[in-house]
Amino acid sequence: MKPADDPTPRRIMTVAEIAEYLNVTPTTIYKLARKGKLPAFKVGTDWRFDKDAIEKLVTDRTGEVVNKERHGGSG
């Protein structure tokens, strides 16, 4: 979460935007959000995603894959 004095606005994204960003279907995004695999929140019945949190997740997951490959682990 950004500090309160950070002037940069948070970028909140929709299911369609996140699906395009991650190059997956909206159905996949819904499934991952419901299972808690993606950081998300609901506004009424609509899911929303904080782009910074999604980018952090991607970075963290990419690091996990790289570390597994370096140490001979499998998927």
Q: Is the pTM of this model over 0.75?
A: no
Q: Is residue 20 part of a domain?
A: yes
- The answer to whether residue 1 sits within a structural domain is no
Predicted confidence at residue 52, as pLDDT, reads 95
The percent of residues above 70 in pLDDT, for the chain, comes to 81
Asked if 60 and 71 touch (Cβ cutoff 8 Å), the reply is: no
Going 30 to 16 to 64 to 52, the CA torsion angle's sign is negative
pLDDT in tens, 27-42: 999 999 999 999 999 9
Please count the structural domains in the chain: 1
Q: Is residue 40 situated within a structural domain?
A: yes
